Amino acid sequence: GEDVEQSLFLSVREGDSSVINCTYTDSSSTYLYWYKQEPGAGLQLLTYIFSNMDMKQDQRLTVLLNKKDKHLSLRIADTQTGDSAIYFCAEVTSGTYKYIFGTGTRLKVLA
Amino acid sequence: SAVISQKPSRDICQRGTSLTIQCQVDSQVTMMFWYRQQPGQSLTLIATANQGSEATYESGFVIDKFPISRPNLTFSTLTVSNMSPEDSSIYLCSVAAGSNQPQHFGDGTRLSIL
């Protein structure tokens, strides 16, 4: 089956960088996404990367994709308390439109 | 991106009753989806809402329990029928402009069944 794994928790100090990791199993994934879920809210699309890319940078966010290892990461530079949330990665496999979501990583930013 | 409104935002219901959740988008979208997020869990796709035809359900979800309507390209409803405490979850609507476009989510409906 398709499993997308993430670490459950990450704690960082304000101003440090955060790195959230995601491991997926379907090598035919076309797009990979990062979403943020704050308490009481839905999912906010942060960024995404196409499978033929290795890296994508968007302001404080950097996405790295290692297709060989089926590993995706999200780096948040200069992490702020407002970044505290749950972060989900999601993959879409070739020929489908269905997302497979990761287990979610709860990021806590300490002041 | 599209503005997605979901109603109600939360509700507390008695077991055995049904609740209909609405999802309204401010622009026409090709694809609309309904997800369930159980407490502390990730998202599970319930079904794809198809405009003008029956929804496409995922394994483990059936139309009798989760009837879905999609009368046009901007609106869909999900009904949770004959509710039990196990149905206590967040139900989320998402939309995409096309099959290769990112999905955008509503704020969800937080449902508790007593």
pLDDT tens digits, A16-32: 999 999 998 887 888 99
Q: Which residue of B has its CA nearest to A4?
A: B42
The pLDDT value recorded for residue A15 is: 97
Q: Are A74 and A27 in contact (CB under 8 A)?
A: no
The pLDDT value given to residue A2: 59
**Does the beta-carbon distance from A44 to B105 stay under 8 Å?**
yes
B86 to chain A, closest Cα gap in Å: 20
Measured between beta carbons, the chain B residues lying within 8 angstroms of A104 are 41-42
The tally of CA atoms less than 13 A away on the side-chain side of residue A13 is 1
Using only C-alpha atoms, chain A has a radius of gyration, in whole angstroms, of 13
Which segments within A1-111 are labelled E, that is strand?
Answer: 5-6, 9-13, 18-23, 29-37, 43-50, 55-58, 61-66, 71-76, 85-93, 99-101, 105-110
User: pLDDT by residue for chain B (114 residues), tens digit each?
Assistant: 789 999 999 999 999 999 999 999 999 999 999 999 999 899 999 999 999 889 999 999 999 999 999 999 999 999 999 999 999 999 999 999 987 889 999 999 999 999
What is the percent of chain A with per-residue pLDDT over 90, rounded to a whole number? Answer: 78
CA-wise closest residue to B93 among B71, B65, B68, B112? B68
Is A87 part of the contact surface with chain B (CB cutoff 8 Å)?
no
pLDDT at A10 over 70: yes
Given a cut of 70, is residue A34 above it in pLDDT?
yes
- Helix, strand and coil content of chain A, in percent to the nearest 5, comes to 5, 60, 40
Q: Which of A44, A98, A104 sits opposite B45 (nearest CB)?
A: A98
Q: Does B31 touch chain A (CB under 8 A)?
A: yes
Q: Does A98 touch chain B (CB under 8 A)?
A: yes
Q: Which of A4, A30, A43 should be substituted to probe chain B, the one whose Cβ sees the most B Cβ atoms within 10 Å? A: A43
pLDDT at A63: 97
Average pLDDT for chain A:
92
The dihedral sign for the CA sequence A65, A69, A74, A77: negative
Predicted local confidence at residue A27, as pLDDT: 78
Look at residues B70, B67, B78 and name the one whose alpha carbon lies nearest to residue B111.
Answer: B78
